[in-house]
Amino acid sequence: MEQLWAPWRLEYIVGSKVDGCIFCVFPKQDDDEKNRILYRGKHAFVIMNAFPYSNGHLLIPPYRHIADITELTDEESLEIMQLTQLSCKALESVCCPDAFNIGLNLGTAAGAGIADHLHLHIVPRWNGDTNFMPVFADIKVIPEALETTYKKLKLEFDRLAE
C-alpha cells in the first residue's frame, strides 16, 4: 500500500475550531495571513478555502451575514463580481489554470458547507486534473501547501490592486 503524506492537514484535524461564522469572525481579526484573507473590499472579501477542491480554490463572501442571494445589495453584487474578475486574474498569473469553475452553493442541499453565509467559489481547473486518485482512491491531491499558495497569491493581489 502506498502512503500519501500531507502533514499540514493535522492542523485542520486537531486544531481549534472557530466559534461562530468564519466569514463574520475572520474579517474582524487582524491576521489576514493566518485566516488566508487575500483581499478586502468595501462590501466583500477574498479568502482561500481551507479545504480546497484544488490549489487556489478561493471564496468570495460579503461581509454581511446573509444566506439568501436576493438579499444582496446592488453594491455587494457588483463588488463580488469585480472580486471574481480580480481573483481570476491573480489565479491566471500565479497558478496558470486551463479553466475555472465559478459558482454558488445556496443551501445545504446544494452542497453549501457554510449555508448561513453565502459565498462564491472560484475553483481553478487544469486539463487532466481529474485523474485516477479521486476515481480509485476517493482522494484529491493538493500538490502545494496552502501557506505557499497564499503567499504567492497575496503578492499578486497586492500588485493588481495598486
Domain positions in the chain: 20-126+139-157
Q: What is the mean pLDDT of each run of 10 residues along the chain (162 residues)?
A: 56 71 96 97 96 89 97 98 98 95 94 93 84 46 77 95 86
Q: Tell me the CA distances in angstroms from 65 to 55, 132, 161, one per residue in order.
A: 26, 39, 25
Number of H helices, E strands in the chain: 6, 5
Q: Is residue 119 among the annotated active site residues?
A: yes
**What pTM was estimated for this model as a whole?**
0.84
CATH architecture of 20-126+139-157: 2-Layer Sandwich (3.30)
- State the Cα torsion 113-116-118-121 to the nearest 10°: -10
Catalytic choice (43, 57, 119, 121)? 119
What residues form DSSP beta bridges with 98? none
Question: What's the confidence (pLDDT) of residue 137?
Answer: 42
Cβ atoms 94, 86 nearer than 8 A: no
The pLDDT score that the predictor gives to residue 88 is 98
Contact between 123 and 105 under an 8 Å Cβ cutoff? The reply is no
